[in-house]
Chain A
Amino acid sequence: MLKIVKYLLLVLILLNIVYAISGAYFYPLASIDTIGIWLLKAKFFYLSHGFPLELLKNTTFLYSHPHYPLLLPFVISVFYFLLGGINEQLIVFIYPLAFVAVLFILYKLLKEVKMGQILALTFVYIYSMLSPLLAQAGRKHAGEADIFILLANLLVVFIALKVFKNKTKNLGVFLIVFIIMIASQIKVEGIFLIITLIFLPLPKKTRLIAGVISLIPFLIWNFAASYLRIPSDLYFVIPSLQEIFLRIIAISHYVILEMIKANNWYLFWPIFLISIYLIKIKNDFLKRFVIPSFLVISALYFCVYLFSSLNPAEYVPSSIDRVLIQISPYFFLWFALLIKEALSKRFSQ
């Protein structure tokens, strides 16, 4: 019986992978951000044969967020150079591959927290069904950058677990610093990963040095963007106290609306929140790393919404699903451990 369940789960996961590939094939360029930001800048690199400063400074292309870090468009442009031309329809097939990598690492992570094979596969299946992830994997949002930030978060959680188990401490810190540096050059919010260093079981000095090194590419890019006068379409404001209060209500409202959106999350959020309330769990890694990292990173996203020049009523609904999927490795692992606790030993081993 368990064997049948195992194969059924594998088939269902495979179906989602094929579904993502089919999306990348049938709707390769269906997102305004894909063609208006990420692939557009890759074209800038390819057409300029170097750093595309003039194109970045051209206000016609302000929608492309010219001040964003450029690593992803640059990497895509390298593919264009290797292919000998711009081939956007081919590039989006990277996204189902990233999806497979995410699912594989999640499975390894769940096995690492002593989860049985069936239960681990069930959670991988549940995760692969979340619509914002399927969208990033190829169903109409292929070509964006959020899945790579998700991948970075997932890798950091996986490596942090190894560090907590006293395995590969030095290598672990080195890898986490490297991932933070990369993530900060994919999207601005990639730098939020630096928070995870605070909660690693390492000497203060090591964490401080790791933090400073992780910040270097982020600081260099921001200094360069400012020095080169690359225009920015987003900036921070300091609202009045009354405005802050109204913004907090608006942000909370749209976050809750997203969480109860059955199309995207099914019943995930209500079940997760009920589980937190009903199930008591003792897990050192969860309490000392996963939950604190999740809460502080979430607070940083909240502050971005709070102090952004954009109106939260427009900004939050258009981005919150992608933000939640970026930080999903933290809350999904939390969810998985709660459910594992609720199940009998027979199921969890």
Chain B
Amino acid sequence: MKNLRKRTILFLFLLLVLIMFTKSIVNAGKLVAEIENPLQKETMKICPPKKDSYFKTIPDSDYMKDLYNYLSLGIKC
């Protein structure tokens, strides 16, 4: 019984390592693409957070507009 428990954990642990190894290969591909194609630098911005109730408490200002404009540059959010 004790061995079965340990084997279950070992199996799950190896599964985790295997999944991460697969992701590493994907990341390596991404890395090569980034280095070969630096244009991605301009197109891979992130979407700013949605204007939720928290943001409504912050005064609307050029500073906040700048933050939003900068972060959403080049992509549809």
The answer to whether A binds B is yes
B17 contact set on A, CB distance < 8 A:
122, 125-126
B44:A342 contact, CB within 8 angstroms? no
How far, in Å, is B6 (CB) from chain A's closest CB? 4
Whether B59 and A126, one on each chain, are in contact in the complex, defined by CB atoms closer than 8 angstroms, is no
> Is A19's CB under 8 angstroms from B31's CB?
yes
> Are A22 and B35 interface neighbours, CB within 8 A?
yes
Q: State the majority secondary structure of interface residues on A.
A: helix
Q: How far is the CB of A40 from chain B (nearest CB, A)?
A: 8
Check if A32 sits within 8 Å of B67, measured CB to CB.
yes
Give how many A-B residue pairs fall within 8 Å (CB-CB): 106
Known contacts A15-B27, A126-B16, A338-B9; A63 and B40 CB within 8 A of each other: no
B13 engages A22 (CB within 8 Å) = no
Set B5, B31, B35, B40: member contacting A15, Cβ < 8 A: B31
Inter-chain CA distance A315–B53, complex, in Å, is 10
B61 near A60: Cβ-Cβ < 8 Å: yes
Q: In the complex, are the beta carbons of A342 and B58 less than 8 A apart? A: no
For B42, the closest partner residue in chain A by CB is A26
Contact A314 B67 (CB under 8 A): no
Nearest chain A residue, comparing its CB with the CB of B70: A35
Q: A15-B27, A26-B40, A60-B61 are in contact. Are A266 and B20 (CB under 8 A)?
A: yes
Residue contacts A-B, CB under 8 angstroms, 12 given: A15-B28, A26-B41, A31-B46, A32-B49, A32-B71, A125-B17, A126-B16, A267-B19, A274-B12, A314-B52, A314-B54, A338-B9
Chain A to chain B: the 3 pairs with minimum beta-carbon distance, closest first: A342-B9, A278-B5, A60-B61
Interface positions of A (Cβ within 8 A of B): 12, 15-16, 18-19, 22, 26-27, 29-32, 35-36, 59-63, 122, 125-126, 129, 140, 233, 266-268, 270-271, 274-275, 278-279, 310-311, 314-315, 318, 338-339, 342-343
